Structure 1
Amino acid sequence: MIQKLIDALIDIVLWVPRQLFGLLVDAVELMLIWIPEIHIVDVQGIFNGLGGQLLYFLTVMEFDYGMTAMMTALIARFILRRIPFIG
Structure 2
Amino acid sequence: MLDKISQAISDFLDWVMDGIAYLLWCIADFFMSLFGKVLGLIPVPDFMHDANTMMAHLSAEYGWYLSIAEFSYGMKVLFSALLARFVIKLIPFIG
Class of the TM-score when normalised by the shorter of the 2 chains: 0.3 to 0.5
Per the normalisation by structure 1, the TM-score is 0.45
Per the normalisation by structure 2, the TM-score is 0.43
Structure ranking higher in helix proportion: 2
